Structure 1
Amino acid sequence: MIFKNDSLDPAAVFACAASLRDACDQAAKLQNLSLSDAFNGMDQFYREAMRIAALFEEWACKHVVFDEMCDVWPYLLEDKFGAACLQRMSVEDLKYFDAEDCPDVALKLLLPLHYQDAPRLPLDVKAINPIPSSHFTHWRIQTIRCLSGDDNFEAMIYGDDPFDPDYEPSILALYGVNAEGLVEHIKDFDRYADAVAFVSKIAPGVEFPEEPVVSASGASDG
C-alpha cells in the first residue's frame, strides 16, 4: 500500500492492520462468521483493515501526545488496536469506521490526547489560585454532560464516548475548589479558551495550560 501522507509511520499502520486482522479472525471464529461473506471477499476485508489502520494513524499523528507515552507505539497498536476497534463496533460494521470513531478507540487504548473542543474530550484540569485572600485554593475546568431529557449534569470521565447518543452535547464547567477539596460551580463554557479567559480576569496570574492534555490519570494541575 502506498501512503498518501508521508508523515504516517508504516510500522504503526501495519501494526494496526495486523492487530485488526487477528481480532477479527478471533471474533469470526467465536461468532461462526465468514469474513469473506461479510466483506464480499477477503481482499476487501484486507483493504478495509488497511484503510482503518491508515485513518487511525493519521488521526493519532495530530491528536496523541507521544511525549507522554511509555509504550513503543507500534507494539502498543499490535497488542491492543484490534480489540479496541471491536469494542467500538462489530466486525460487520467496520466498513463504516470513520474519523468520528478514532477518539473513542484512542480512549479505549488509554492514550494521552491533546484536548479539543470538538468533539469535546473528557477534560479535567486544575490550576492554583494566585489570589491568597480568595476562598478558593484552586480552579478546576471539567467536561460535564447530562443524559438526554435530564437536567442532572455529571462529569464526563476518561473512557466515555464523546459521541454517545444517550447524552446531550457536553460543556465545560468552571469550579472553585477550597482547602477542604469542596467544589463550587462558577460558570459553564463551550470553549476551553473562553473558560481560561474568564478565570484569568477574576484571578489574574492563574496558569492553566495553553494546550491541556486528556489522560487516563485523571485531573492534572496546570
Structure 2
Amino acid sequence: MIFKNDSLDPAAVFACATSLRDACDQSAKLQDLSLSELFQGMDQFYREAMRIAALFEEWACKHVVFDETEDVWPYLLEDKFGAACLQRMSVEDLSGFDAEDCPDVAMKLLLPLNYIDAQPRLPLDVKAINPVPASPFTHWRIQTIRCLSGDDNFEPMVYGDDPFDSEYEPSILALYGVNAEGLVEHIKDFDRYADAVAFVGKIAPGVEFPEEPVVKAQGI
C-alpha cells in the first residue's frame, strides 16, 4: 500500500491492520461469521483494515501526546488496537469507521491526548493551586461538562465518554473553585480553554494552568 501522508509510520499502520485483522478473525469465528461474505471478499476486508489503520495513525499523529506514553507505539497498537475497535463497533459495521470513531478508540487504549478548543471537545479535567491565600478556594478546576439533549442538568464529561455522542448537546467548559474539603463551587462557563485560563488569572493572579493541557485517564 502506498501512503499518501509521508508522516505516517508504516510500522504503526501495519501494527493496527494486523491487530484489527486478528481481532476480526477471532470475533468472526466466535459468531460463526464469514469475513469474506461480510466484506464481499477477503481482499476488500484487508483494504478496510488498512484504511482504518492509516486513518487512526493519521489522527493519532495530531492528537496523541507521545512524550507521555511509555509503550512502544507499534507494539501497543499490535496488542490492543483491534480489540479497542471492536469495543467501539461490531465487525459488520467496520466499513463505517471514520475519524469520529478515533477519539473513542484512543481512550479505550488509555492514550494521553492533547486538548484542542474545538467541537466536539475532549473530556478535559485540570486543576491548579490557588495562589491567593485569603481565598476560600485552595484550587481551581476547569472541566468539560455537557447535558442530554432537551435537558438542562449538566454532568461532567469524563475520560472514555464519546465526544460525538448524539444524545448530548455540545459540551462546554466549567470553571470551579475547590475548597479544602474538596467541595466545588461553580464559577463560570466558557467555550474556550484559553478564555477560562485568562479569567481565572484575573481573579487569582499567578495561577498556573498548563498552556497545552493533556486529557488523561484517571490515575494515569
TM-score bucket (shorter structure): over 0.9
Equivalent-residue separation in structure 2 for 1:193 and 1:218 (angstroms)? 25
Look up the equivalent residue of 2:74 and give its one-letter code.
P
Give the aligned length.
Answer: 219
- What SS is found at the alignment partner of 1:94? helix
1:101 is the counterpart of 2:101: yes
The corresponding residue for 2:138 is 137
The corresponding residue for 1:58 is 58
The corresponding residue for 1:179 is 180
Query: Which aligned runs of 4 or more in structure 1 are off by greater than 4 angstroms?
Result: none
Query: Is this contact kept in 2: 1:64–1:114, CA < 8 A?
Result: yes
Q: TM-score, normalised by structure 2?
A: 0.96
Give how far 1:149 is off: 2.2
Q: CA RMSD in A?
A: 1.2
In the TM superposition, 1:41-80 aligns within 5 A as 41-80=41-80
Look up the equivalent residue of 1:120 and give its one-letter code.
R
> Unaligned 5+ residue runs, structure 1?
none
Equivalent-residue separation in structure 2 for 1:190 and 1:38 (angstroms)? 43
Query: Is this contact kept in 2: 1:128–1:139, CA < 8 A?
Result: yes
Q: Deviations over 1:96-149 (max 9, x none)?
A: 111111111001110000012332111100011121111111110001112222
Equivalent-residue separation in structure 1 for 2:6 and 2:152 (angstroms)? 47
Q: TM-score, normalised by structure 1?
A: 0.95
Equivalent-residue separation in structure 2 for 1:104 and 1:137 (angstroms)? 33
Q: Deviations over 1:39-82 (max 9, x none)?
A: 11110110110011011011101110111111111111011101
Give how far 1:218 is off: 5.3
- What SS is found at the alignment partner of 2:170? coil
The corresponding residue for 1:86 is 86
Look up the equivalent residue of 1:48 and give its one-letter code.
E
The corresponding residue for 1:151 is 152
Equivalent-residue separation in structure 1 for 2:62 and 2:166 (angstroms)? 25
Look up the equivalent residue of 2:204 and give its one-letter code.
A
Give how far 1:204 is off: 1.6
Q: Percent identity?
A: 89
